[in-house]
């Protein structure tokens, strides 16, 4: 690699391929020349060539671990959370006093992450979790229904926990 920009592009390609295909791949058609241009535009003003930026990466270790250590559903959860972090990062950066050209590039990158989330990471799981959080746990009818359903829920959770625990042990031993 000739520069930190090359590393940024390679990382984005890897990230994009993991997100879209669930595994590393050599190209990602969704990346497009516009993202590369935006990163190049941001290179100077954000000092992306600074060696300190690549010495302690924020997301790269997780990206390397995804395939070997996590099931597909776990990868989906981690990448969905990572995309949320990127949305927050880009939103915070857009509030800073950067030149308009930088803000436009950041805005386009923010839009690409939003598009990616909309296409592949709709928040169905978050909606289900929120529905669980909204259950009225102090309601006597809900409490009795929950006790009545407990056997099924407990068995399912126990089976999945055992399965995941055994896989994790096998991964660390093998």
Q: What is the distance, to the nearest Å, from the Cα of residue 45 to the centroid of all Cα atoms in its chain? A: 26
Torsion angle, CA of 80/42/28/108, rounded to 10 degrees? 60
Higher pLDDT, 148 or 21: 148
Q: What is the pLDDT of residues 120-146, one digit of tens each?
A: 887 677 788 889 999 999 999 999 999
Looking at the predicted structure, is the pLDDT value of residue 30 above 60? Answer: no
Q: What is the pLDDT of residues 78-125, one digit of tens each?
A: 998 999 999 999 999 999 999 999 999 999 999 999 999 888 887 677
Instruction: Spell out the SS3 assignment of 12-53.
Output: HHHHHHHHHHCCCCCCCCCCHHHHHHHHHHHHCCCCCCCHHH
Domain extents in the chain: 4-124, 135-173
pTM greater than 0.75 (yes/no): no
């Amino acid at each position: 690699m000739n520069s930190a920009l090359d590393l940024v592009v390679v990382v984005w390609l890897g990230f994009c391929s993991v997100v879209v295909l669930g595994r590393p791949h050599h190209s990602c058609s969704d990346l497009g020349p516009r993202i590369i241009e935006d990163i190049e535009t941001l290179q100077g003003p954000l000092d992306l060539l600074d060696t300190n930026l690549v010495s302690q990466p924020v997301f790269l270790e997780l990206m390397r671990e995804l395939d070997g250590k996590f099931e597909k559903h776990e990868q989906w959860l981690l990448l969905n959370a990572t995309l949320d972090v990127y949305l927050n990062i880009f939103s915070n950066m857009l509030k800073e006093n950067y030149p308009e050209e930088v803000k436009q590039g950041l805005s386009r990158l923010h839009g690409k992450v939003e598009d990616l989330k909309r296409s592949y990471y709709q928040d169905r799981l978050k909606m289900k979790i929120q529905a669980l959080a909204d259950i009225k746990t102090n309601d006597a009818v809900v409490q009795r229904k929950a006790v009545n359903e407990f056997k099924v829920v407990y068995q399912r959770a126990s089976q999945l926990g055992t399965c995941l625990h055994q896989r994790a042990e096998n991964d660390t031993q093998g």
